[in-house]
Amino acid sequence: MKLPIGIAVEAAAATLFEADRAPAELRIVTDTRRLAPGDTFLALRGPNFNGHDYTADAVRKGAVMVVIDEPQARVEGTSAMLVERTNDAYMALAAAARARFSGSVIAITGSGGKTTTKVLLRQLLATRYGDRVLAAPANENNEIGVSRLLLELSNDRHDVAVVEMGARHSGDIAVLVDIARPQIGILTNVGEAHLEIMGSRRELEDTKWALFGMGARAVLNADDAVSRERAASLAKPAHWFAARGGDARVDASVRTTAILGRSRLLECGGGKTREYAVDVRVPGGHNRANLAAALAGALSAGAQIEPMIAAVPTLELPEGRFQSIQLAGRPRIIFDAYNANASGTIAALDAFAQEPGERHIAVLGSMAELGDESPEMHERVGAHAATKVDALLVGGDFADMLARGAERAGFSSQRIVRFATNGEAASWLRANARPEDVVLLKGSRKYKLEEIVEELEP
């Protein structure tokens, strides 16, 4: 979104230098590698970088203006906007871009499934809006990533924006909602992710529920306890979603989009139910719930049910989410180690148990940022794994808790292997796993379980 110079200066509360050289409209970039002649370069700060070090390079590459908070970073002969803090100015400029966007904004948050739901939703929205849907390509879900997405909006090219919102600290979602002002908000679930940082479950719940703080129409998980408890506080009735067994019942009195098994789709509301045949191929109940959320969100945004049903068999999950990898002469690997919390790991184990294979071997790294509940949650996951797998490899800071949970559930200690490094896990798999087996890799990002795949590659 190009911002008129007057709107940009006002939004960022900036002091404008060399106004006669300022562009009439600003296209704002923060990475000199993506800069084109005529752009405006905004100098962000991060833990390990300072964009002010690159203002001269940006001008050499064609930037006609810089946005800075260090006066010495000005470049002679180039217009500059001096702000109090560039990171805050970036968000303010993004909010100004959002205010000029005439299309719909859909925001997604939750303790798990955000990126998967976003990717599925983008594909489903394409059945109505084609390539006029804008969504971040990765999980750029903090204030910088959300701002970047909003500044890429164009009324000429886009009808819908899908914004993923992550929260690592209390109040984070409210900040993002203030920038993006979504008309539709999808809350996948409220689990235990980032409990250590949030401080309490109440803080976590309040942070997620802020998704609806500016009046977004709520799309909620019918099987999420927090959503059921808080739905009455919403100004408008929610659109619910669910994924359940093939013969489950669904409340037809409220608007609900439900996937039952892999072949039934129900649209309920006002006491009536419409049923459709559907071919669901995404693996696992947790991903079917993400699909139901995406369908409900797309319907709320004006997509039609029949074209989406036709698209469902072709939908693709994002990379690293229950990704099937077949290596020559090795067991098939299910790589689902983009991140992990207790509910997500249990869901992955349930889906993994349905995968074909002679033996099911789970390689579980630990789960991060769960705070005081970490030991209990790791034991719970270990106990669940004991009912789903034939062999269990455990690693990370809470490997002993995973093993203890499995043993207490009756899993033989002889079938549990502790690994200190990913290399050790790969060596065990190389020596003991057979081509007919199937292996699950699940753990938090900090444990880099993709290294096991790399070690096993021929």
Q: What mean pLDDT is predicted for residues 220-244?
A: 96
User: Residue 192: what pLDDT?
Assistant: 64
Q: Please compute the mean of the pLDDT values over residues 129-144 and round it to a whole number.
A: 92
Prediction pTM value: 0.89
Owning domain of residue 357: 323-456
Has residue 14 been placed in a domain?
Answer: yes
For residues 295 and 355, state if they share a domain: no
**For the domain that residue 19 is a member of, what is the CATH number?**
3.40.1390.10
Average pLDDT of the chain, as a whole number: 95
Read off φ and ψ for residue 401, nearest 5 degrees: -70, -40
Token pair 């590698």 is found at 33
- Residues contacting 374, CB < 8 A, separation 6+: 196, 367, 398, 401
Find the range with the poorest average confidence among 61-65, 137-141, 286-290.
137-141
- 31-35, 283-287, 330-334, 351-355: least confident range: 283-287
Choose one of 259, 282, 314: the last residue of a domain. Answer: 314
Q: Do 114 and 243 belong together in one domain?
A: yes
First-to-last C-alpha distance (Å) of the chain? 46
> How do residues 284-335 score in pLDDT, each as one tens digit?
999 999 999 999 999 999 999 999 999 999 999 998 889 999 999 999 999 9
For residues 362 and 233, membership in a common domain is answered with: no
Q: Choose the final residue of a domain: 280, 296, 314.
A: 314
How does strand 217-221 pair with strand 133-135?
unpaired
Whole-angstrom distance, CA of residue 435 vs CA of residue 123: 34
Q: Are residues 149 and 284 in the same domain?
A: yes
Based on the domain organization, do 270 and 328 belong to the same domain? no
Where is the domain boundary, 247, 279, 314? 314
Mark whether 297 and 363 lie in a shared domain: no
CA 431 to mean position of chain CA atoms: 36
User: The domain that contains 154 carries what CATH number?
Assistant: 3.40.1190.10
Rg (CA), the chain: 24
Q: How many CB atoms lie within 10 A of CB 436?
A: 11
Other CB atoms within 10 Å distance of the CB of residue 371: 15
Query: In terms of domains, do 187 and 204 share one?
Result: yes
Q: Which residues of 328-351 are buried (b: 16+ CB within 10 A; e: fewer)?
A: eebbbbbbbbbbbbbbbbbbbbeb
Q: Provide the token pair at 199.
A: 């401080």
pLDDT value of residue 198: 60
For the stretch 146-197, pLDDT in tens is 999 999 999 999 999 999 999 888 899 999 999 999 999 999 999 765 555 5
- The span from the CA of 444 to the CA of 57, in Å, is 37
How many separate domains does the chain show?
3
What pLDDT is recorded for position 200? 78
Of 97, 73, 75, the residue nearest 83 (C-alpha): 73
Residues 115 and 223 in one domain: yes
Share of the chain above pLDDT 90, in %: 87
pLDDT of residue 263: 97
- In this structure, the answer to whether residues 75 and 163 fall within a common structural domain is no
The mean pLDDT value for 417-424 works out to 97
Count, residues in the chain? 458
Contact 78, 64 (CB under 8 A): yes
CA distance 142 to 434: 42
Q: Do residues 167 and 232 both lie within one domain? A: yes
Buried b (16+ CB within 10 A) or exposed e, 34-70: ebeeebbbbbbeeeeeebbebbbebbebebbbbbbbe
Residue 96 placed within a domain: no
Q: Which residue has the higher pLDDT, 110 or 370?
A: 110
The lowest-confidence range among 81-95, 265-279, 319-333 is 319-333
| Amino acid letter, 249 | R
Domain-located, residue 95: no
* Average pLDDT value for residue range 419-445: 96
Q: Report the C-alpha gap between 346 and 455 in whole angstroms.
A: 26
Structural domain includes residue 55: yes
Q: Is the pLDDT of residue 276 over 80?
A: yes
Tokens of 431: 């020596």
DSSP state of 103: S
* Residues 305-327: b if buried by 16+ CB within 10 A, e if exposed: beebbebbeebebbebbbbebee
Assigned domain for 94 exists: no
Gap between the Cα atoms of 5 and 190, Å rounded:
41
In this structure, what are the phi and psi dihedrals at residue 362, rounded to the nearest 5 degrees?
-105, 130
Beta bridge mates, 241: 221, 257
In this structure, the answer to whether residues 132 and 49 fall within a common structural domain is: no
Residue 201 has a pLDDT of 81
342: domain CATH number?
3.90.190.20
Instruction: Verify that 276 and 406 share a domain, yes or no.
Output: no
Residue 424 forms part of a structural domain: yes
